[in-house]
Amino acid sequence: MEYIQGNMMSGYLRDPNKQEFSLRPDLHPRVLERAYHRMADVLLELSKPEFPLIGGLLRSEDGSFIVGKRPLTFNMNRISQFSNIALSVFKDSTFESASDYFEELARQHMKQLELQKNDAIVDGADCRKKYVARCLFRRLSRNLCDKQCTGPFRLFCDDLSPRNIIVDPSTLTVAGVVDWEFTYVAPAEFTYAAPWWLLLETPEDWEADLDDFLARYEPKFKVFIQALKECEIEKIRCGSLQESGRISTIMETSLSSGLFWVCLASRHSALFDEIYWKFLDPKFFGTFENMEQRISLLHPDEQVEMEQLVQEKLRQAEEAKLDEHYTVEQLVEL
């Protein structure tokens, strides 16, 4: 492996007074613009390769890359580690359409609720609320994609951020990108959604009140979109990007359209319920009146399954026993 000289981009952007990663408040606007421009360039390059399937990459005999296995995602790793969910729960195949993959992600959220035994619910009412959210999210996930539902699909890295970018210390020019383990071919919607990392913080570190997060995020998003547009213009001018390769047009509206929140909820179990009830439920199912009204939207079979799940989760909570899927050594390697 070639040694790359440089420093992590995040080191120039993070607040030195905080232990967790967070954007420094006194960062000079020109430094932020330059960093966002470099990140925009990486995202555009990542969006160029096109594939006919969703999944993980394998190298073929002729040296080219093909989609030949299920995607390995950041969220799969997290819920296997912290929710004690066996890897066998995840569908072991590639996907021919974005709607199939979104539905699989919705199924994973439901499986986590069903199978996680440690702190999965607070009480019966909480269990019903979480079950309803997952049922309705599964329903809306079937209709998320548009004309690119069957491809082409794009490369996407779940945890790509300035923490992965090695830059030249004097110019912030990108020298290399590292840590690609959660990279896979994904629905184009993931590429078109606003990046989660603009504040450097991971979604798990955001404020409990997502309105407070948005108040900090939206001004930085405007800066990033401008940097992305400028980067696209430069690439189109020099012939390295086609006009059809622009991603800024859809991304710019991804907060208002809900695409940002749908993709984020799909990929992050830790924030799923907060995102669903704050942004997705009112957008797709109208003003929330009470839980009984939302339960009435479920199929009768789903309503029966909900009550069965409530009883099972209450039994599991009282039993306070975990299933053993892995040895200690296997858990360490997850």
In whole angstroms, what is the distance from residue 326 CA to residue 311 CA?
27
Among all chains, which residue has been given the structure tokens 């704050």?
278
Angle at alpha carbon of residue 240, lines to 237 and 246, rounded to 5°: 80
263's tokens: 């993709």
Contacts of 105 by beta carbon, 8 Å cutoff, 6+ apart: 75, 141, 266, 267
DSSP structural state of residue 25: T
Question: What integer best gives the mean pLDDT of the chain?
Answer: 93
The model's pTM: 0.92
Per-residue pLDDT, 1: 62
Per-residue pLDDT, 117: 87
195's tokens: 């990046």
In whole angstroms, what is the distance from residue 79 CA to residue 89 CA?
11
| Percent of the residues in the chain that have a pLDDT greater than 70, as a whole number | 95
Per-residue pLDDT, 172: 85
Q: Backbone phi, then psi, for 176, in 5-degree steps?
A: 180, 160
Residue 4 has pLDDT above 90, yes or no: no
Mean pLDDT is lowest, of 42-46, 53-57, 153-157, 313-317, for 313-317
Residue 328 has pLDDT above 90, yes or no: no
Q: For 131-146, how does the pLDDT look when each residue is reduced to its tens digit (9 = 90+)?
A: 999 999 999 987 777 6
Give the model's confidence band at 326: pLDDT under 50 very low, under 70 low, under 90 confident, else very high.
low
Residue 152 has pLDDT above 80, yes or no: yes
Residue 176 has pLDDT above 90, yes or no: yes
Neighbour count for residue 134 (Cβ, 10 Å): 24
Give 276: exposed, middle or buried? Use CB within 10 Å, 0-12, 13-18, 19+.
buried
Mean pLDDT is lowest, of 53-67, 90-104, 272-286, 313-327, for 313-327
Judge whether 20 and 152 are in contact, CB under 8 Å: no
Residue 50 has pLDDT above 80, yes or no: yes
Per-residue pLDDT, 2: 75
Residue 249 has pLDDT above 80, yes or no: yes
